[in-house]
Chain A
């Protein structure tokens, strides 16, 4: 289990690319503070469900409250901070 924040960021981005099939991107292409659902990556509502599945499978985190989800699934930084604080695996 990765505990170092920088390593976790890279690992999360790799999962992001795999789960969302963003195969033309590398982890270096995804900025940590750019909104995931903005114009940059162009993610949509189906992707948000894929992200929830990703967090559940890879980190044992279950997001059930939509309001909470909107605050977590903002950018790579907010998600990784949440993983560090709440991961169960």
Chain B
């Protein structure tokens, strides 16, 4: 799957490429909120005022990509929670108004596939539409769906818009905080990995890709990806090695490793196992930039494509390579769901 175009809204200034060009936001907050662009020129006011943050960010990423490229044959998104803020508002209204008349807006915006539907309506796209809600592997599921789609149309040029979105709402933040996923104390993101405490910081954002099965003029390629659940710390190294074996690669083939290390002392050891396999390679710890959320691997993929094209190189630690050609992303959520994504230029 070849990446022809991409765009992202994130807690860093990705919307105007400041982040890619070296402007890194130091964040010292409990919540890493997305830096959103002005949507006034992009989304009609009547629709914008009804949109929840997830839908707004998602459309804010989709429309610029769609404006630069031919109409895709399908739209595939991944999201763990979708517009959860609107969803909980709607559920509360059912109780508050004793199951009486309910407002349509919160309901319409609360379904996870509201984004794909709105993008299709705004861009007049009647093609394949799918939204994957497979928790912290939702983006990986969207990638798998895209891969299967391209397989189905082998030999015929096809294009897809593929991406992910996640919003922070008070509700999901508080629920995840009670689950000890987020830190109680404040540490700036620059020191995130040395915080020495449990939990991380909550992030949000949307990253999307215009994918094609035609390699011409592509920025990079999603070469392979693999997911697994409930791997022990001892199994993770073998998981990575067997994945590389399947691609006829080994650890020396990887120019840069992107790790989802998030400063949570209870689960960072899985990342350390993988780090050891690539001890002499440059590494990018992308959650220092955007925090933890369930579809953050979409942002990691976005960053990988930038690195493969000679941008954002300042984020590489443990040495740097000017323009990596093969990049591996390893991410897990709660040390339960693990994913590997291999990108090449």
Q: Give the shortest distance, in Å, between A53 (CB) and chain B (any CB).
A: 5
CB–CB A57/B97 < 8 A:
yes
B103 in complex: contacting residue of A22, A23, A49, A62, CB < 8 Å: A49
CB–CB A50/B97 < 8 A:
no
Complex interface: chain A residues within 8 A of B97 (CB): 57
A46 in complex: contacting residue of B100, B102, B105, CB < 8 Å: B105
Task: State whether the Cβ of A14 lies closer than 8 Å to any Cβ in chain B.
Answer: no
CB–CB A42/B103 < 8 A:
no
CB–CB B50/A56 < 8 A:
no
CB–CB B50/A21 < 8 A:
yes
CB–CB B49/A20 < 8 A:
yes
Q: Give the shortest distance, in Å, between B97 (CB) and chain A (any CB).
A: 7
What CA separation (Å) do A45 and B104 show in the bound complex? Answer: 11
CB–CB A57/B50 < 8 A:
no
Complex interface: chain A residues within 8 A of B45 (CB): 42
Contacts known (A42-B45, A46-B108); A53 close to B101, Cβ less than 8 A: yes
CB–CB B105/A57 < 8 A:
no
What CA separation (Å) do A75 and B100 show in the bound complex? Answer: 25
Q: Give the shortest distance, in Å, between B44 (CB) and chain A (any CB).
A: 9
Task: State whether the Cβ of B46 lies closer than 8 Å to any Cβ in chain A.
Answer: yes
The 8 closest A-B pairs by CB, nearest first: A21-B49, A56-B101, A53-B101, A53-B103, A49-B104, A42-B46, A50-B103, A46-B104
Binding site for A on B (CB under 8 A): 45-46, 49-50, 97, 100-105, 108
The 10 listed contacts between A and B (C-beta, < 8 Å) are: A20-B49, A21-B49, A21-B50, A22-B49, A23-B49, A42-B46, A49-B104, A50-B103, A52-B101, A56-B101
Complex interface: chain A residues within 8 A of B101 (CB): 52-53, 56-57, 62
CB–CB A44/B104 < 8 A:
no
Complex interface: chain A residues within 8 A of B105 (CB): 21, 46, 50
Complex interface: chain B residues within 8 A of A52 (CB): 101
Chain A interface, number of residues (Cβ within 8 angstroms)? 16
CB–CB B100/A56 < 8 A:
yes
- Of residues 45 through 70 on chain A, the ones whose CB sits less than 8 Å from some CB of chain B are 46, 49-50, 52-53, 56-57, 62
Q: Give the shortest distance, in Å, between B36 (CB) and chain A (any CB).
A: 15
Complex interface: chain B residues within 8 A of A19 (CB): 103
The residue on B at minimum CB distance from A43 is B46
Q: Give the shortest distance, in Å, between B223 (CB) and chain A (any CB).
A: 44
Contacts known (A52-B101, A53-B102); A46 close to B50, Cβ less than 8 A: yes
Known contacts A46-B105, A53-B103; 10 additional CB pairs below 8 A are A20-B49, A21-B105, A43-B46, A46-B50, A49-B104, A50-B104, A52-B101, A56-B101, A57-B97, A62-B101
B46 in complex: contacting residue of A23, A44, A57, CB < 8 Å: A44
Complex interface: chain A residues within 8 A of B102 (CB): 53
The residue on A at minimum CB distance from B45 is A42
Q: Give the shortest distance, in Å, between A62 (CB) and chain B (any CB).
A: 8
Q: Give the shortest distance, in Å, between A24 (CB) and chain B (any CB).
A: 8
Complex interface: chain B residues within 8 A of A50 (CB): 103-105
Q: Give the shortest distance, in Å, between B55 (CB) and chain A (any CB).
A: 13
Complex interface: chain A residues within 8 A of B100 (CB): 56
What CA separation (Å) do A20 and B49 show in the bound complex? Answer: 8
What CA separation (Å) do A57 and B50 show in the bound complex? Answer: 20
Complex interface: chain B residues within 8 A of A46 (CB): 50, 104-105, 108
What CA separation (Å) do A57 and B45 show in the bound complex? Answer: 26
The residue on B at minimum CB distance from A49 is B104
What CA separation (Å) do A23 and B45 show in the bound complex? Answer: 11
What CA separation (Å) do A19 and B103 show in the bound complex? Answer: 9
Complex interface: chain B residues within 8 A of A53 (CB): 101-103
The residue on A at minimum CB distance from B97 is A57
